[in-house]
Structure 1
């Protein structure tokens, strides 16, 4: 465990702007920065316990409906799949929860816990605020990116790939939407003894079940055997009705990677230096194109 350092200026500013934080935590004795691409997250050692404090980054301003997120995380906490908020301020995006120790788990163990947690969420019958539709997300991302240079060429390439998928997609009635986490990537999965918690519900909304399942499998890098175990745990909790076919899951994987690639390009355009977002975007672009080739033959 890293030794906690002194509270950073952004933590001090948050506590000054929101006295409720000090009421809940007491004085902050130390802080350790946690991994996170779109937010600043700290583990706080304070007089009244240990907490997670999320402070949004400036470049994510306007990208998340914080009112919807606040309602959805409370709903997920009632189900026991999210840490309940101790302080949640949609206007600022600041979120405080109790901290838990992440004991970690190898993918072959985590896949079963994650499948169970997503199955519980999807089959709960809860109604989240917001709607997460890949087509709408991608259209908004294209508008945000604008035109010009290599970015425009990458967007055009991904658009052509998505058009190739269209003849292979299901037609008919509108697809079922379920309460979804939206980004069940490794950094948002905390493995406590005997159970898994999902954190960071910024992109939570009603979505097709395939969205969470595809994103989880992709970002955790599940092997075929691990993905099979993941889906088996999901079916055990949610039933066969919600589980997509192999083809539909592969199509959603392509769409998820397109969204991730465009998100990476957006972050780079906004000047975020949190990570190498160009390499991130290129890796997701290449994986999306490979998935399209797999579906279309």
Structure 2
């Protein structure tokens, strides 16, 4: 993808170097550093979005607003420029290292990551709300309307999904600004603090979804899952732990549809079907867990 970087105000009259950045299944990311000796020197990330974001429920204007709000909360990169006409969002480069799933085995890393999530959740309200029950319904409608491929037994869990929705709706906490897509690579660690990036799916949401999403995406063991909730909450109740486990299920069951849509429509060479199936199979395991009825009861009981 060719980016018209010369049309960005921050780079007008400057010379620069460009280096590709890994990741990005709905956008192309590059690092741009000025090399002309003019102050201030710039070190930027330019995110150029791909077509089809509307089918995935991505609101690019909200992404820009919420990226700026995260920066105000002290947990995200500053927004330098936003050019919707070019499909570009320009943010400051964060000098930190992306985490991997294995990084969370370090208790200090987990503590810094949980502190970052708390800072985000305590920060300015976001533009827009996020609810995985509504998001899943929209994704399922897109799949149905376009006749896209879906696992034959995906809808067999409709009744159990409704049970989860009812349990989580009994005593919901106030919504907070959430990233909603905190896989390991969206945590950047500089050794002293963790930063959070990528606000494509951000919106005000139940904080337990944020925690459960990371549990699911990072493949936490049961022990890591409980340590993660404790690092965020302090002294979690049975209801806190149950809500996070159910929200991990919601993450897997809902985001699997994202993968199935991408498998049919994305031009990127990536096995989106396998990505979706991995999450669907995790959801199946949680739906079928022996303690699933107990989780529903504990989440509904609150306290």
Task: Place the TM-score, normalised by the shorter chain, in its bin.
Answer: 0.7 to 0.9
Assess, with a 3 A threshold, how the Cα gap between structure 1 residues 240 and 96 changes in structure 2: closer, same or farther. Answer: same
Hey, what does 2:264 align to over in structure 1? Answer: 269
Unaligned segments of structure 1, at least 5 residues:
1-8
Assess, with a 3 A threshold, how the Cα gap between structure 1 residues 268 and 213 changes in structure 2: closer, same or farther. Answer: same
Large movers: runs of 4+ above 6 Å: none
- Check conservation: 1:155, 1:262, Cα contact below 8 A: no
- Check conservation: 2:25, 2:268, Cα contact below 8 A: no
Q: Distance in 2 between matches of 1:289 and 1:19?
A: 46
Partner SS state of residue 176, structure 1 = coil
- Check conservation: 1:111, 1:226, Cα contact below 8 A: no
1:199 paired residue among 182, 197, 216: 197
Partner SS state of residue 287, structure 2 = helix
Hey, what does 2:43 align to over in structure 1? Answer: 50
Assess, with a 3 A threshold, how the Cα gap between structure 1 residues 136 and 75 changes in structure 2: closer, same or farther. Answer: same
Assess, with a 3 A threshold, how the Cα gap between structure 1 residues 222 and 150 changes in structure 2: closer, same or farther. Answer: same
Hey, what does 2:59 align to over in structure 1? Answer: 65
Assess, with a 3 A threshold, how the Cα gap between structure 1 residues 172 and 95 changes in structure 2: closer, same or farther. Answer: same
Q: Distance in 1 between matches of 2:268 and 2:159?
A: 29
The structural deviation recorded for 1:160 is 4.7
Hey, what does 2:184 align to over in structure 1? Answer: 186
Hey, what does 1:227 align to over in structure 2? Answer: 225
- Check conservation: 2:212, 2:247, Cα contact below 8 A: yes
Q: Distance in 2 between matches of 1:221 and 1:114?
A: 15
Hey, what does 2:19 align to over in structure 1? Answer: 31
Q: Tell me the C-alpha RMSD between the 2 structures.
A: 2.6
The structural deviation recorded for 1:82 is 0.5
The structural deviation recorded for 1:185 is 0.9
Hey, what does 1:98 align to over in structure 2? Answer: 92
Partner SS state of residue 198, structure 2 = coil
The structural deviation recorded for 1:225 is 3.0
Hey, what does 2:299 align to over in structure 1? Answer: none
Q: Distance in 2 between matches of 1:137 and 1:258?
A: 11
Q: Deviations over 1:179-201 (max 9, x none)?
A: 11111112211111311111111
Q: Distance in 1 between matches of 2:65 and 2:165?
A: 34
Partner SS state of residue 64, structure 1 = coil
The structural deviation recorded for 1:171 is 4.7
- Check conservation: 2:82, 2:89, Cα contact below 8 A: yes
Deviation larger for 181-190 or 269-278: 269-278
The structural deviation recorded for 1:129 is 1.4
The structural deviation recorded for 1:251 is 1.3
TM-score with structure 2 setting the length? 0.82
**Are residue 208 (structure 1) and residue 241 (structure 2) matched?**
no
The structural deviation recorded for 1:28 is 2.6
Q: Distance in 1 between matches of 2:72 and 2:25?
A: 27
- Check conservation: 1:164, 1:292, Cα contact below 8 A: no
**Are residue 120 (structure 1) and residue 123 (structure 2) matched?**
no
The structural deviation recorded for 1:228 is 2.9
Q: Distance in 2 between matches of 1:180 and 1:120?
A: 10
Q: Distance in 1 between matches of 2:269 and 2:186?
A: 17
- Check conservation: 2:98, 2:184, Cα contact below 8 A: no
Unaligned segments of structure 2, at least 5 residues:
36-40, 295-303
Hey, what does 1:296 align to over in structure 2? Answer: 293
The structural deviation recorded for 1:221 is 1.7
**Are residue 74 (structure 1) and residue 68 (structure 2) matched?**
yes
- Check conservation: 1:53, 1:97, Cα contact below 8 A: yes
Q: Deviations over 1:184-233 (max 9, x none)?
A: 11221111131111111111111001111011111112223322332222
